[in-house]
A = this chain, B = another copy of it.
Amino acid sequence: MQKNVLIIGAGGVAHVAAHKAAMNNDVLGDICIASRTLSKCDAIIESVLRKGHLKDASRRLYSAQLDALDIPATIKLIQDTQSDIVINLGSAFLNMSILEACIETGVAYIDTAIHEDPDKVCEQPPWYANYEWKRKDSCDAKGVTAILGAGFDPGVVNAYCALAVKRYFDKIDTIDILDVNAGSHGKYFSTNFDPEINFREFVKVWTWIDREWKEYPTHSVKRLYDFPVAGEQPVYLNGHDELHSLSKNIDANSIRFWMGFGDHYINVFTVLRTLGFLSHLPVTLTTGQEVVPLKVVKALLPDPMTLAPGYTGNTCIGNFVKGWKDGKEREVFIYQVSDHKKCYEEVESQGISYTAGVPPVAAAMLIANGTWDVKKMVNVEELDPEPFIEILDRIGLPTEIKEIEPNSAFSFNGFVRPIEEELLESTATVTVSAANPMIALKPAK
C-alpha cells in the first residue's frame, strides 16, 4: 500500500530525499515538501522534474510553507496532506516539535540527527535520553513508528553495527566508525552541511570506551588510515550522534567515531574556535547589538547547497569492527563509497547530502511495505539491518564488506596506548577547558 510522505526541510539533505522519494513514489505515494521558505521547496521540485524523477506521474509532488516549531500548524499540515510518514530533515532544533505532531496524529516519524537545544551544546550523554527517548513511552503506547537517526551516520552505520552482530561476530570488542570526505569543493573553506549544526559537533568529544563515556578535547587524537577508493586520510577522534544509542543497544567494549579533516580544515577551524567564533553564546558589540558569533560564521561561509556543481572526489564511511567469531579473532570493514560528481549528475547534489538523504527514504519505504513499521520508537540498530542495506544497494548507496587479516597493516588501530599517551603525542592544538581540567596537555609541536 502506498504511503504519503511529508518531507520537512528544504536544505541539501531534503533535496536528495525528495529526488529519491519521487523515484520511488510507486511505493511512497504523494510527496509534500514543507519548510519556512516556500521558494526553496519549489526549487527542489523543479530539480526533481528537470531530472524526470517523478516515477508515478499520477501521484502528487508539491510544496507547503511551514514553521515546524509550531506544533498545531504541523499537525494541520500532516492532516491536510493525508501524510502517513513524516521525514524530518529540517534543523535539529525542530525534532521534538515535529515528533510531537507525529505522536498527536499517529503517523510515522523519521529523522537523521539528534534534537538540539539552541542554548546547549554537547550535553551529558547519552544525548537521546535528554530529548527523544523521553517520548518513547508515548510512541509505544500509541503505536507510532518513530525511527531515530536514519541518515548515514547516524543511520546506515547503526545498521552496519547490527549487521556485524547478526552475521559476522559472536562477540565484539571495538567498533570504529570512520567518516572521511576525500572530496574537493574548490572553496577556501566550507562545511558540507549547516555550519551552525556542524560546528556544534566539535565543541568536545564524548566517546564510548571500555563501556564508559569519556570526554576528550576536540582534534586531540589523530590517526592515518588507507581507505578504499578515498586513499590514505587523516581522521580525528570525534563525538557523534550514533554513539549515544549504540552504547546502549550494541554489546561492544568500545564504540568510537572518527572524522576525516585535512590540515587546512583543522587550521581554519582552530583559528575560528580559538578566537570564539564558533560559540553559540551571544557577545555584545560596541553598537549594543547582541550577536551569536556562530550565526555570523553561518552567514559568511558558503551555503553548502552551492557546493554541489563543482564537487569532485569520494566519500568513504564505514565501520571497522574487531571481535571474535567461532573462537577466532576477526576484523571486518563494512563501508560505503560515494562519488560527489556522480551524485551531482544523478540528483544535482553533493555526496555528503546524498549519503544523508537517501537512507531516510529507504527507511520510509520499509515502513511503507511493513518491514520496519514497528509501531514504537527505535534507533536503527534495533531493526533488522538486511532489508535496509538491500534497498540502499538498489537505490544508490551500495555497501561493501572487507574481511581484514587481524592485527595486520590493514587494521584500523583505535587506541594502541593508554589514552593519556595518545593525547600527549597529538599534533593538534587543543584547548583544555575549565569543564575538562582532567587532562594536562603539552602545547602542540
Contact A267 B271 (CB under 8 A): yes
* Cα of A267 to Cα of B296 in the assembled complex, Å: 20
Task: Evaluate contact between A289 and B291: CB separation under 8 angstroms.
Answer: yes
| A415: Cβ under 8 A from any B Cβ | no
Q: Of the candidates B267, B275, B291, which one forms a contact with A291 in the assembled complex, judged by CB atoms under 8 Å apart?
A: B291
**What does the 1/0 interface line of A186-228 toward B look like (CB < 8 Å)?**
0011000000100000000000000000000000000000000
What 1/0 flags go to A287-308 for Cβ under 8 Å of B? 1010111011111110000000
- A124 on interface, CB distance cutoff 8 Å: no
Determine the chain B residues whose CB is within 8 A of the CB of A188 once the complex forms: 274-275
Report B-chain residues with C-beta under 8 Å of the C-beta of A295. Answer: 285-287, 289
Contact residues in B for A189 (Cβ distance below 8 Å): 271, 274-275
Which among B267, B283, B299, B301 is the interface contact of A299 at CB below 8 angstroms? B283
Q: Which B residues touch A284, using CB under 8 A?
A: 299
Which B residue's beta carbon lies closest to that of A268? B271
- Any B CB within 8 A of the CB of A344: no
Write out, one digit per residue, whether chain A residues 259-293 have a CB within 8 A of any chain B CB (1) or not (0): 00000000110011011110000011111010111
| Cα(A297)–Cα(B296), bound, Å | 10
Q: Which residue of B lies closest to A302 (CB)?
A: B275
Number of copies: 2
In the complex, the answer to whether A271 meets B274 with C-beta atoms within 8 Å is no
Task: Establish whether residues B272 and A298, one from each chain, have CB atoms under 8 Å apart when the complex forms.
Answer: no
Query: Judging by beta carbons under 8 Å apart, are A300 and B271 in contact?
Result: no
Rounded to whole angstroms, the CA-CA distance of A274 and B293 in the bound complex is 17
Partner of A283, one of B272, B289, B292, B300: B300
Pairwise interchain contact B289-A289, C-beta atoms closer than 8 A = yes
Q: How far is the CA of A299 from the CA of B282 in the complex (A)?
A: 10
Residues in A165-188 with C-beta less than 8 Å from chain B = 188
Q: Are B283 and A296 in contact (CB under 8 A)?
A: yes
Q: Could you tell me the distance between the alpha carbons of A295 and B286 in the complex, rounded to whole angstroms?
A: 7
Check A300/B277 contact, CB under 8 A, given A267-B271, A271-B268: yes
Residue contact B271 to A286, C-beta cutoff 8 Å: no
Chain B residues within 8 Å of A298, by CB: 285-286
- Alpha-carbon separation in the docked complex, A272 to B189 (Å): 11
A291 to B296, CA, bound (A): 8
Given contacts A267-B271, A268-B271, A291-B291, contact A300 B276 (CB under 8 A): yes
Say yes or no: B299 contacts A296, CB within 8 Å. Answer: no
Residue of B nearest to A272 (CB): B271
Q: How far is the CA of A295 from the CA of B293 in the complex (A)?
A: 11
Contacts of A272 in B (CB 8 A): 271, 275
Chain B residues with CB under 8 Å of A291's CB are: 285, 289, 291, 296, 299
A293 partner, pick from B271, B275, B296, beta carbons under 8 A: B296
Complex alpha-carbon distance, A292 and B288, angstroms? 12
Report the separation of the CA atoms of residues A287 and B265 in the bound assembly, to the nearest whole angstrom: 27
Query: Shortest Cβ distance from A226 into chain B, in angstroms?
Result: 28
Q: Are A293 and B300 in contact (CB under 8 A)?
A: yes
Measured in the bound complex, the distance between the Cα atoms of B188 and A284 in whole Å is 21
Chain B proximity of A36: nearest CB distance (Å): 10
| B-facing residues in A330-344 (Cβ within 8 Å) | none
Nearest CB of B to A29, in Å: 33
Find chain B residues with CB under 8 A from A277 CB: 277, 296, 300
- Chain B residues with CB under 8 A of A196: 286
A430 CB, nearest partner CB in chain B, Å: 13
Q: A189-B274, A268-B275, A276-B300 are in contact. List 9 more A-B contacts (CB 8 A).
A: A189-B271, A267-B267, A272-B275, A275-B297, A277-B300, A286-B298, A287-B295, A289-B295, A291-B296
What 10 A-B pairs have minimum CB-CB distances, sorted nearest first?
A276-B300, A271-B271, A283-B299, A285-B295, A188-B274, A296-B296, A285-B299, A268-B271, A291-B291, A275-B300
Q: List 20 A-B contacts (CB under 8 A).
A: A188-B274, A189-B271, A189-B274, A189-B275, A267-B267, A275-B297, A275-B300, A276-B300, A284-B299, A285-B292, A285-B295, A285-B299, A286-B295, A286-B299, A289-B289, A289-B295, A291-B291, A291-B296, A293-B296, A293-B300
